[in-house]
Copies of this chain bind each other. A is one copy, B any other.
Amino acid sequence: MRKGIIVQKFGGTSVANPERIIGVAKRVAATKKKGYDVVVVVSALGGTTDELVDLAGRISKNPAEREMDMLLATGEQVSVALLAMALHELKQEAISLTGAQVGIVTDSSHTKARILDVSTQKLRKELRVGKVVIVAGFQGVNLDQEITTLGRGGSDMTAVALAKVLKAKMCEIYTDVKGVYTADPRIVKDARKLDSISYEEMLELASLGAKVMQARSMEVAGKFNVPMHVRSSFSKKKGTLITKEVRAMEDVLVRGVTAKKDEAKVTICDVPDKPGEASRIFELLAKADINVDMIVQNISRTKATDISFTVPNSDLKKTQEVVQKVIKTIGAKAVTYNKSIAKLSVVGIGMRSHSGVAAKMFKALAAKKVNIEMISTSEIKISCVIQKKDADKAVKAVHKSFGLEKKPKK
């Protein structure tokens, strides 16, 4: 009697060299021996993708995205073949499959394709005969059999999609950290590993730069309620379970604190206070594919107002081009850019039903003389823009003020 299907995803550092690939094979074989059907998703060998990008860069400054996908998809294909060989060495039957061979069908947005459909026929056929099925992460094909890739962190999406269509018991994300922490342990010494976290909280943390999982994958996992387990490739200990919101969770005000340091703040001064002005700015930014994050409009003085927003540093140049044009047409007076900022956030489902989180956070920051430049809040998150130099100090202070180093009582 089979116990059901487990999907295991291993990132690039977990398969960085033959020795690690053999380690992964042992882990996979052990899971299979416990009676589970196992589907493994692997990324490219650590460093491979960067090497390929570099090769392409030596040929073209702006390579066609279709050809980038053709190029990059080879990385995962190498990994799956090698892992299959490693499993064979352990006398475990296994077969490697490319995205195309599985039937991972995506749209045609090369380099950032979205999965439309995953065929389970081939997967189930191979599982039925007792094989471990090893699937190349990060890749698919469109309806014309063109190879596509799912963007950075896309192997997470492959794993979540497979877990969903196969109705897997668990989708395990193996990584080089032990799980999800209340804060970055490199900054906060007594940061605590969480036993569990909700999809929503995890999504906020992911989008805030806690690089454990790709944000979009988390969104999909939550939407379809795919049970997830983030854990270390180098340890047998349990990591962090990601589940639906549960009763016990609600007693916790704040799940974690994080600081994002790769955004810039843009302020457009003296925008005439007429309806539609602001929307015109953000329409143009959206057209230019710029990912605007926080937006704050200050209280209007006289008949003009200041609008501030944050964008990823990588989009700042594009943003400047757009903004320079737009301020003339809307009659704004000036614009300032600031790259020395950080976005400090606290995340927790408990905020929904409790007040006072913001006050506690601001008080902790004030005590350390950290100046707050912008504030924005959502149902389960409060974010403040502060000076980048204050970021680590601020994370520590806020982490302590919420007592995150202590395990909450249930």
Binding site for B on A (CB under 8 A): 18, 21-22, 52, 55-56, 58-60, 63-64, 66-68, 70-71, 73-74, 77-78, 80-82, 84-86, 88-89, 95-96, 98, 100-101, 145-147
Bound Cα distance A82, B74 (Å):
12
* Extra contacts besides A64-B85, A70-B96 (9): CB < 8 Å: A18-B55, A18-B58, A55-B78, A60-B88, A67-B85, A67-B96, A74-B78, A77-B77, A101-B146
Assess whether A67 is in contact with B81, with CB atoms less than 8 Å apart. yes
* Listed A/B pairs (17) with beta-carbon separation below 8 Å: A18-B55, A18-B58, A21-B59, A22-B59, A52-B78, A55-B82, A63-B88, A64-B84, A64-B85, A64-B88, A66-B95, A70-B84, A70-B96, A71-B78, A71-B82, A74-B77, A101-B145
B residues in contact with A68, CB < 8 Å: 81
B81 to A70, Cβ gap below 8 A?
A: yes
Cβ-defined contact, A60 with B78, below 8 A: no
- A21 to B95, alpha carbons, bound, how many Å? 34
Interface centre among A22, A74, A95, by most chain B C-beta atoms within 10 angstroms, is A74
Which chain B residue lies CB-closest to A58? Answer: B18
Which has the most chain B C-beta neighbours within 10 Å: A21, A81, A88? A81
What DSSP secondary structure best describes chain A's contact surface?
Answer: helix
Assuming A70-B77, A74-B77, is B96 touching A82 (CB within 8 A)? Answer: no
Give every chain B residue within 8 A of A80 (Cβ-Cβ).
Answer: 70
Interface contact B73-A77, CB-CB below 8 Å: yes
Contacts of A59 in B (CB 8 A): 18, 21-22, 82, 85-86, 89
Contacts of A70 in B (CB 8 A): 77, 80-81, 84, 96, 98
Of all chain B residues, which has the CB nearest A64?
Answer: B88
